[in-house]
Amino acid sequence: MSAKGVLKGYLLPGLPHILLCPEKNQNWMQVRKAFDRVREEIQTSGADILIIYSTYWPSILGHQIQADPSPEWVHVDEQFHDLGSIPYKFKMDATFAEVLKQKSTERGLHARTINYQGFPIDTGSVVALKLLNPNNKIPAVIVSSNIYSDRAETIVFGKAMADAIEETGKKAVILVISSLSNRLFTKEFNYAEDKIHSLKDQEWNDKFLELLSEGRLEDCSQLSRQFHREARIKKVTNFKPFWWLAAVMGQSNAYSGEVYAYAPLLGTGAAVAGLTPGVEKASDLEYDEENVEKYSGDRHVLDISTSIPKPTQDMPEMGPEYE
Amino acid sequence: MGQIIAGCLAPHPPHLVYAENPPQNEAKAECGWEVLRWGYEKMRKHLKALKYDVLIVHSPHWRTQIGTHFLGVEHLKSKSVDPIFPHLFRYNYDLKVDVKLAESIHDEAKKLDLEVKMMRNPDFRVDYGTIVSCHMTNPDWDVPIVSISSNGAAQYFSFDVMQAQMFKLGEATRKAIEASGKRAVLLASHSLSHRHFVLEADPPEDMSKEHITHHGQYLWDMKMIELMKKGKSKEMIEILADFDEQTISEANGGGLSWMMSAMGFPTYPAEVYAYGTVIGTGNAIVEWNHLEKGVE
């Protein structure tokens, strides 16, 4: 079942090239055009809040929530400073931030709101808000990614967000800022010749793109640990964005999914993908449950006394003793 | 000929600046972390008497995966707000950069096939690791700095790859300093063990709540300090990867490896000014003084 109030969820890359120099690579331009398309969808969606979970904003003391009503700065990326400066002025929903803090606390989490002039809003959030909400038509809230928080805590934090959306009655669009594979090239190179860092990264990205295109969000969540081992530099404890997104959106596969663009971005996997609740195109493709809302008993997956389906190409014949 | 006159392990918890209550920082404290702050006081007094020309700092909080970067703007003025501890550190800085020396280190590093880049954007915000270590070492800010980024090679490849790169960067730093004719002090801006508490005391400076996260980290910190005090810097660097694995050390940014290489892996005992914990992490303030030990 999808969470109340969530209109749509998106996965977006966060490197500044999409904002500052998409023209330097034709595939980056496709990603930029996908952002443009997402902007149109969001601006006409009727959403009254944009909620951002950014893997570019680490925290240690619990979960931080941006609550400065009007943060303003000239942002420069710490690594890609030569691409230029990004002046910004955003509109945040400070009231919603306080509700989220309260809901997080009620669920046993340590959370706090952040409202300090000059606080460094991360590059991923800046890129998303500049491209998707250029006139600040829709107020936003940004939450951090706690570096020590693993699956259980991250999922509870997502549920706290769902609580806050429901309590406020907001219509929300959820933005998760993260690459898929995250291995950057470590030397300067000709941007026009960008490619995914390795074939293995590409194959894992393909698998996640397949799942996303089928709306299988919970399956992405379930595969996050494996994805972290296979296709991620271990900068943080784990790959969390799909845990959090799935928890906010209802922990199921009941979505319509679409991949708007996918391209190498300095070796990383940059995907723009959208998930729309309620269409339930893939709701019969649960990773390991038939129904995530109601327990319907043992599925007898190991019980040979029950009827065995006919073998398929994925399931070889087991032999006469099973018949 | 220029020379490295001293190198210091100069940790950067923003709590130390917060507790000092300098006019540059908006947040105000009652007190806190005195052992470490008094250690910094002793070190800065000692260094001041040496009359150094430049502070060169390597910071793990300026993270650049594509090579090592150097501040390349002569005057930088802005506000640094710590993204983790914004309630403690909102610091208005106004600093001078020795761009010529930074460029010289950049060029020497390039000759050694390291990936390097100068940072020329005047809107760039200097990282809080650089600011805290420099402030605690020289709160007067009357000496220019060179700030060097950390390239994260320990995570992207391995600790050994990181160390190999830092050894080269240290060599490049030494050559550039020698050619500059300047008296330089190096700062490796990081803690030792680095497992934080995930909750904070109220107020943060409540010292009755401050201690190491766990005893295993403390034992490792003491092992490292023992090697420093015995002048066994090569042995220290050799076990740094194990130390890092056991303590989630901040040394994986490369600062200590860079500094020891630049100083030719000192064999004399270091001066340990202080050891203390900050929100559970282990921090030591340590000086290797080439000048007093007669190292040229």
Angle at alpha carbon of residue B154, lines to A127 and B218, rounded to 5°: 110
Interface check for A59 against chain B (CB to CB < 8 A): the answer is yes
In A, minimum Cα distance to B79 occurs at A118
Residue A281 or residue B289, greater confidence: B289
What would the pLDDT profile of B77-87 be if each residue is shown by its tens digit?
999 999 999 99
Q: CA nearest B193: which of B240, B262, B132, B154? A: B240
Q: Which residues of B62-84 are buried (b: 16+ CB within 10 A; e: fewer)?
A: bbbbbbbbbbbbeebebbbbbbb
CA distance A100 to A118: 22
CATH class entry, domain A6-296: alpha beta
In chain A, positions 85-114, which contact chain B (CB-CB < 8 Å)?
85, 110, 114
Q: Please report where in the chains the tokens 């508490």 appear, as a residue.
A: B197
Average pLDDT for chain B: 96
In B, minimum Cα distance to A77 occurs at B124
Picking from B64, B65, B126, B128 by the largest number of A CB atoms within 10 A of its own CB, the best residue to mutate is B65
DSSP H stretches of helix in A108-197: 123-132, 151-168
DSSP H stretches of helix in chain B: 14-20, 34-48, 99-111, 128-137, 153-156, 159-180, 215-229, 233-238, 240-247, 255-262, 290-293
CB atoms within 10 A of CB B156: 17
DSSP H stretches of helix in B85-214: 99-111, 128-137, 153-156, 159-180
Coil/strand/helix, residue A98 = helix
Q: What is the mean pLDDT of residues B274-282?
A: 97
Coil/strand/helix, residue A231 = helix
Task: Identify the pLDDT of residue A321.
Answer: 42
Task: Identify the pLDDT of residue B198.
Answer: 87
What would the pLDDT profile of B22-68 be if each residue is shown by its tens digit?
999 999 999 999 999 999 999 999 999 999 999 999 999 999 999 99
Task: Identify the pLDDT of residue B166.
Answer: 97
Residue B93 or residue B199, greater confidence: B93
CA distance B72 to A155: 43
Q: Can you read off the two tokens belonging to residue A169?
A: 């009655």
Task: Identify the pLDDT of residue A311.
Answer: 44
Kindly provide the ipTM of the predicted complex, given to two decimals. 0.95
Q: Chain A contacts of B130, Cβ < 8 Å?
A: none
Q: What is the mean pLDDT of residues B193-201?
A: 92
pLDDT in tens, chain A (323 residues): 556 899 999 999 999 999 999 999 999 999 999 999 999 999 999 999 999 999 999 999 999 999 999 999 999 999 999 999 999 999 999 999 999 999 999 999 999 999 999 999 999 999 999 999 999 999 999 999 998 888 999 999 999 999 999 999 999 999 999 999 999 999 999 999 999 999 999 999 999 999 999 999 999 999 999 999 999 887 777 899 999 999 999 888 889 999 999 999 999 999 999 999 976 665 555 555 556 566 666 655 555 454 544 444 444 444 434 33
CB atoms within 10 A of CB A317: 10
Q: Chain B contacts of A186, Cβ < 8 Å?
A: 65-67, 115, 151, 153, 156
Judged by CB atoms closer than 8 Å, whether chains meet at A110 and B115 is answered as: no
CB pairs under 8 A between A and B: 90
Q: Chain B contacts of A60, Cβ < 8 Å?
A: 84, 196, 198
What would the pLDDT profile of B218-240 be if each residue is shown by its tens digit?
999 999 999 999 999 999 999 99
Instruction: Kindly list the structural domains of chain B, giving each domain's residue range(s) and its CATH number in brackets, ordered by start.
Output: 3-293 (3.40.830.10)
Residue B198 or residue A41, greater confidence: A41
Task: Identify the pLDDT of residue A291.
Answer: 60
Task: Identify the pLDDT of residue A313.
Answer: 47
* Least CB–CB distance from B156: residue in A78, A148, A186: A186
CA distance B66 to B68: 7
CA distance B265 to B175: 15
Q: Can you read off the two tokens belonging to residue A119?
A: 């606080």
Interface check for A58 against chain B (CB to CB < 8 A): the answer is yes
Interface check for A148 against chain B (CB to CB < 8 A): the answer is yes
Q: Chain A contacts of B200, Cβ < 8 Å?
A: 61
Task: Identify the pLDDT of residue A308.
Answer: 46
Interface check for A233 against chain B (CB to CB < 8 A): the answer is yes
Nearest chain B CA: its distance from A261 CA (Å): 25
Residue B34 CB burial class (10 angstroms; 0-12, 13-18, ≥19): middle
Task: Identify the pLDDT of residue A322.
Answer: 35
| Whether pLDDT at B187 is above 50 | yes
